Structure 1
Amino acid sequence: MEAVKLIRKWMVNLVGIVVVLGLWGGVGAAPQVPCYFIFGDSLVDNGNNNQLSSLAKANYMPYGIDFPGGPTGRFSNGKTTVDVIAELLGFDNYIPPYSTVSGQEILTGVNYASAAAGIREETGQQLGGRISFSGQVQNYQRTVSQVVNLLGSEAQAANYLSRCIYTIGLGSNDYLNNYFMPRYYSSSRQYTPEQFADVLIQSYAEQLRSLYNYGARKMALFGIGAIGCSPNELAQYSPDGRTCVERINSANRLFNDRLKSLVDQLNNELTDARFTYINSYDVFQDIIGNPSSYGFTVTNAGCCGIGRNNGQITCLPLQTPCPNRRDHLFWDAFHPTEAANIVVGRRAYSAESSSDAYPIDINRLAQI
């Protein structure tokens, strides 16, 4: 009898421990959404370009120097914005790249992003292989076929996908590696900045409708950051290496304004879906205008790279980066540090000001 009492006491204590662990989070809680699908460029690529014949790769040190997995193909010293968002959504692991994902893994989501990719097919072609927005959408369509097979029916797959989060962030390369590169591309001679923004948004909207037709219902669209403030553009066009290049930033704002309007249009048109706009541009401008409030001391130069402001090209293989990476807004000529990505990712997930997300942030999008 004494032994039975001891066993019962032990089991009560065990149940109590399990409950405490569950409340604390030690027992893996389910994420807010069943899956997370990512479309974009080098800002969020996590390995899809590794096997391509491309100059746009980051699968070597010092990239990933502060990331647990080392140089995975992320264009940062550590986490990207979508890694931060995946954490905040409650996923136990980061979303895997399309190039390596297989089997049941796809049910938690896939990252289709590709460095140098743009909305336009020709964007980034001078850098070699890349997967354009339309190519990423086609890869997603292949994934959906696999989801249907895994879940057993199109109806079950549609229900499942309707609860997932989709983040889309393209357009930067259409300016960096197209419109503002007249030596390689004719777009700046064909279109005014206003016309080019219109053309981009028209193509962008077509791909979003394709995603909708293949089950996407909760889509967060990331605006373009202040490209004219990146070390590369400062090195080329800023007289003092510090003042942001307004002709580039003004073109970026034209695109962002249209993207925000597209959110309204699609929300009215596709009433069973929900679109939202993430204002990356203003977040970066806020950081540049108030760096000390975010812990940054260097906002105009990369932590590694070559040339003025480390802005001429990206990090060279095995190059020694700056030791004070937490102080830098930019990791290389184009891409933010992990510290900056954490700020952007957190404000995309949970808006700190009314301008961060329109009409809702990703946290609220997940709860719909």
Structure 2
Amino acid sequence: MESMMINTWLLLPVLFLSANYLIQCVNGKPQVPCLFIFGDSLSDSGNNNNLPTSSKANYNPYGIDFPIGPTGRFTNGRNSIDIITQLLGFEKFIPPFANINGSDILKGVNYASGGAGIRAETSMTMALHEIGARKYVLVGLGLLGCTPNAIYLHGTNGSCVEEENAPAYIYNAKLKSLVDNFNNKFSLDSKFIFINSTSESDGQSSDGFLVSNAPCCPSRLVGGGCIPDEKPCYNRSDYVFWDDFHPTDAWNQLIAIGSYDDPYTSGYTYPMDIKHLVEQETKMELESINENTSQLSASS
């Protein structure tokens, strides 16, 4: 049993539209036994709360729409990882490393931390592969020049700053190519997919969001975080951005559902979405299944 759990790890090295859809997906057992997340503030669920850093989100108005209030998530409600966790059928959100207790680790750990930078993707992935990780979701960069912070600093009157978007396009193209390389190299025992964050960002104006160039919460000029205890906008589902850098729960829901189930091959996921990644059987999984079947047959 333990070996099968290790072989079916799903990793989201980082870094949604219908409530009924979410309810249908969370009934029953999780689609994967455990989930491990590596990323930055877009995925942080509380790891920064007790760290000596100014990058924190454990105060009001962060978490205004989260059931237990501020937790360290850099948004008004759930981040996209939380929603993907729900879509995968987990009863609880994956806990941050800072709050891990006992058997919690058997369901996974969220190692994401606000302010984390880009590390050597290849060496980290190889290290994870050595200890049993077999299914990976590699998430690209969003359009950095379309954040309220970039728009304000460059004074573009609400338009994206294209010179800041250019590096994201370059990075994502290379990351997509890396996914192809990994899938070719580990075609039998590992599966990799790529989430193209710039693809979804390009469609902000057509996805029903009325405000895509300003934050919902009053934000600091330096750092871009919400000003403590200031009242945010009331129509939060109309906003793409919660603060100067991070999206709202509504936008995170769009991102998460697009990552999990991308039926129209829109270019947002490559070469498949998370739903189909989970369904892929690796060589090690098939060997474990065959071994267990043989043992059951021998004992009967």
TM-score interval, normalised by the smaller of the two chains:
0.7 to 0.9
Question: Mapping of 1:1-368 within 5 angstroms?
Answer: 29-120=28-119, 203-240=120-157, 242-271=158-187, 272-288=189-205, 290=206, 294-306=207-219, 313-354=224-265, 355-368=267-280
CA displacement at 1:239 relative to structure 2: 2.4
CA displacement at 1:27 relative to structure 2: 10
Q: CA RMSD in A?
A: 1.9
Greater relative contact order (Cα < 8 A, sep 6+) = 2
Q: Measured at CA, do residues 330 and 259 of structure 1 come closer, stay the same or move farther in structure 2, by a change above 3 Å?
A: same
CA displacement at 1:269 relative to structure 2: 1.2
Does the aligned pair in 2 maintain the 1:49–1:56 contact within 8 Å? yes
Paired residues, number:
256
Distance in 2 of aligned mates of 1:282 and 1:275:
18
Which residues of structure 1 form unaligned runs of 5+?
1-23, 121-202
Moved over 6 A (4+): 24-27
Q: Measured at CA, do residues 352 and 281 of structure 1 come closer, stay the same or move farther in structure 2, by a change above 3 Å?
A: farther
Does the aligned pair in 2 maintain the 1:31–1:90 contact within 8 Å? yes
Distance in 2 of aligned mates of 1:350 and 1:208:
24
CA displacement at 1:316 relative to structure 2: 1.5
Distance in 2 of aligned mates of 1:304 and 1:345:
22
Query: Normalised by the size of structure 2, how large is the TM-score?
Result: 0.82
Q: Measured at CA, do residues 287 and 353 of structure 1 come closer, stay the same or move farther in structure 2, by a change above 3 Å?
A: farther
Distance in 2 of aligned mates of 1:26 and 1:259:
29
Larger Rg: 1
Does the aligned pair in 1 maintain the 2:78–2:249 contact within 8 Å? yes
CA displacement at 1:305 relative to structure 2: 2.9
Deviations along 1:280-318, one digit per CA (max 9) or x if unpaired, are 111111123x1xxx33111100001337xx897210111
Equivalent residue of 1:210, what SS?
helix
Does the aligned pair in 1 maintain the 2:25–2:88 contact within 8 Å? no
Distance in 1 of aligned mates of 2:135 and 2:26:
28
Which residues of structure 2 form unaligned runs of 5+?
1-22, 281-300
Distance in 1 of aligned mates of 2:165 and 2:210:
22
What amino acid sits opposite 1:97 in the alignment? P
CA displacement at 1:25 relative to structure 2: 7.1
Does the aligned pair in 2 maintain the 1:50–1:73 contact within 8 Å? yes
Distance in 2 of aligned mates of 1:319 and 1:367:
45
What amino acid sits opposite 1:228 in the alignment? G
Query: Normalised by the size of structure 1, how large is the TM-score?
Result: 0.67
Equivalent residue of 1:360, what SS?
coil
CA displacement at 1:73 relative to structure 2: 0.4
Does the aligned pair in 2 maintain the 1:234–1:311 contact within 8 Å? no
Deviations along 1:309-349, one digit per CA (max 9) or x if unpaired, are x8972101111111111110000000000000000000000
Equivalent residue of 2:118, what SS?
coil
Does the aligned pair in 2 maintain the 1:259–1:277 contact within 8 Å? yes
Distance in 2 of aligned mates of 1:35 and 1:304:
34
Distance in 1 of aligned mates of 2:275 and 2:26:
22
What is aligned with 2:295? none
Distance in 2 of aligned mates of 1:30 and 1:204:
31
Distance in 2 of aligned mates of 1:41 and 1:27:
26
Distance in 1 of aligned mates of 2:222 and 2:251:
17
Distance in 1 of aligned mates of 2:26 and 2:228:
40
Distance in 2 of aligned mates of 1:298 and 1:27:
30
Equivalent residue of 1:110, what SS?
strand
What amino acid sits opposite 2:226 in the alignment? C
